[in-house]
Amino acid sequence: MRLGETTRKNFTQNPKNDILAGITVSLAMIPEVVAFAFVAQIDPLVALSGAFIVGLIAATFGGRPALISGAAGAVAVIFVNLIIEGHAKGMLFDTTVDNMGYFYLLAAVVLMGLIQIGAGVLKLGRFVRLIPHSVMMGFVNGLAIVIFLAQVRMFSHKELEIGADGLKKYIDIPMAGSELYIMLGLVGLTMAIIWLLPKVTTKIPAALTAILVTTGVVIFGGLDVSTVGSYIIEGGGEGLKGEFPTPNTELWQNLPFNFDTLNFILPYAFLAASVGLIESLMTMNLVDELTETRGNGNRECIAQGAGNMVSGLFGGTGGCGMIGQTVININAGGRGRLSGIVMALTLLTFILFTAQYIEQVPIAALIGVMFMMVIETFAWSSFRIIRKIPFPDAIVLVIVSAVTVIYDLAIAVFIGVILSALVFAWKSATMIRARKRVKEDGTKIYEIWGPLFFGSIQNFNTKFDVKTDPQNVEIDFVESRVSDHSAIEAIFNLVNKYETEGKTIRLKHLSEDCKVLLYKASPKFKEVIIEAVDDPRYYLAEDPEKFTKPLSEYKL
């Protein structure tokens, strides 16, 4: 009963909210997917087909209900060079195919999916838990800025320009005059409705209502503004009218299946798979925080991979989790898988049956929705806490935000995690301490505090004075842990130094897992490790009745 109830809640907690949220997200999905097509220089219908397939499969089988996936985001940038170079390779080897870059793209998307499925099977999704909070905040802030700048660029017209090399290039012509003022007014109207409506009623989704009202103002007011339809046509598309995605047989007929093809697409596929998973798993983490629930990263990896594989086989492009549309979904009340499924099916419906209606939606309405999403996404608390958190964390937050804006989301996360790891390693390396004392029988005791690993072994070695120490020496690891091979080597070399001087050395209070590491490294450790446990804290764990006096009276 509990399992069935959990499954139902994952599918939908509130059908009305999930359905309306899915419809809202599908409207906000179209301009970003079309923009993805412009960046990647492919037909918008290829991107829309990919958004439908990836979105549907990820929503149905993924590890995070309410997460929205589609063919957009950082993956677009990766495939630009692949398509250009693919066209060049096609012209070199087969002049009868003028769009070979497209077929290389589909093959790379299929391979991208296979890599992501492999990551899920190997349970690599768990590593998203290693991403520090400062990196997460920097990622969210940077992404909010990226989305904001992308919307600002929408205040322009796209015009096609053919360069001297014959390549097509889209340039932006900024709006001006009354056109700009009307655009700003419609964006402001959309944002005002989204902000004010929840104060009046929460029974209808504010974002969807704002889109419908703004669209009505444009249609009935006879305003000449940029719409979804004109936006697609400006970019060289032919509108949203399309067909139901079917397996692309031309892929198998035109693409050479050999080592050269694999060698060409593998770097792009691997990078796209990595970027897609990082963006998806980071989005999953954000949804976890917003909904106070827990997603399954490994399952999400497999679902994303399956979605990309099917998309490539059916002629669509690759995709991943989309944080902007996911936040819109959450804010609109979407909580279950149904919201993502409705988004994908609504997107398909627009393409097949209602293109003429969705093409009338003004771009200003969608920009207003995205601006409100930016306001909701940006971690405004970072301004308040940046002086209160440790300085290295503040630096990481700023760097991740900046790299996200300047370069790429995945690169920003990689840099943030690496910087955080280096800071942690440095702090841990400086934490190693050794308290020295001499027992009544003349044995010198070194009590070690702090983790012993590659970063702390240099400080660890400076704690000992082998030549002047007495005949018998004990190293007490009760407050330390042997963590890696570097630590084992440091202890092994230290033991050899004492034995070379003809002195006796013993190691005590090593944890069981530390002893396993040392015994496995060298039989010599069996001679120097003291197995007997004589520390009162160990007795406390075994049997508190062994203590006959207060713990504070024991000498540790």
Q: What is the pLDDT of residue 158?
A: 66
Domain boundaries, the chain: 13-133+176-379, 433-553
Closest CA to 318 of 308, 304, 330, 328: 308
Cβ neighbours of 137 (radius 10 Å):
23
Q: For residue 514, what are its two tokens?
A: 């530390």
Give pLDDT tens digits for 44-99. 778 888 899 999 999 999 999 999 998 866 677 678 778 878 877 776 665 556 67
Q: What is the pLDDT of residue 283?
A: 85
DSSP one-letter string for 149-211: HHHHTTSEEEEEEE-TTS-EEEEEEE--HHHHHHHHHHHHHHHHHHHHHHHH-SSS-HHHHHH
Longest dimension (CA), the chain: 99
Q: In whole angstroms, give the CA distance from residue 475 to residue 498.
A: 12
Length of the chain: 556
Q: What is the pLDDT of residue 551?
A: 44
CATH superfamily for domain 433-553: STAS domain (3.30.750.24)
Closest CA to 275 of 38, 74, 57, 500: 74
Q: Are strands 168-174 and 156-162 parallel, antiparallel or unpaired?
A: antiparallel
Q: What is the pLDDT of residue 236?
A: 57
Helix (H) or strand (E) holding 554: none
Q: What is the pLDDT of residue 542?
A: 43
In sequence order, what are the beta bridge partners of 450? 480
Helix (H) or strand (E) holding 58: helix 44-61
Any idea which residue has 């012993």 for tokens?
452
Q: In whole angstroms, give the CA distance from residue 478 to residue 213.
A: 69
Q: What is the pLDDT of residue 479?
A: 87
Cβ neighbours of 534 (radius 10 Å):
9
Low-confidence ranges of the chain (pLDDT < 50): 1-4, 536-547, 551-552, 554-556
Q: In whole angstroms, give the CA distance from residue 124 to residue 119.
A: 5
pTM: 0.68
Q: In whole angstroms, give the CA distance from residue 348 to residue 352.
A: 6
Give pLDDT tens digits for 408-435. 777 788 888 889 888 888 888 888 889 9
Helix (H) or strand (E) holding 248: none
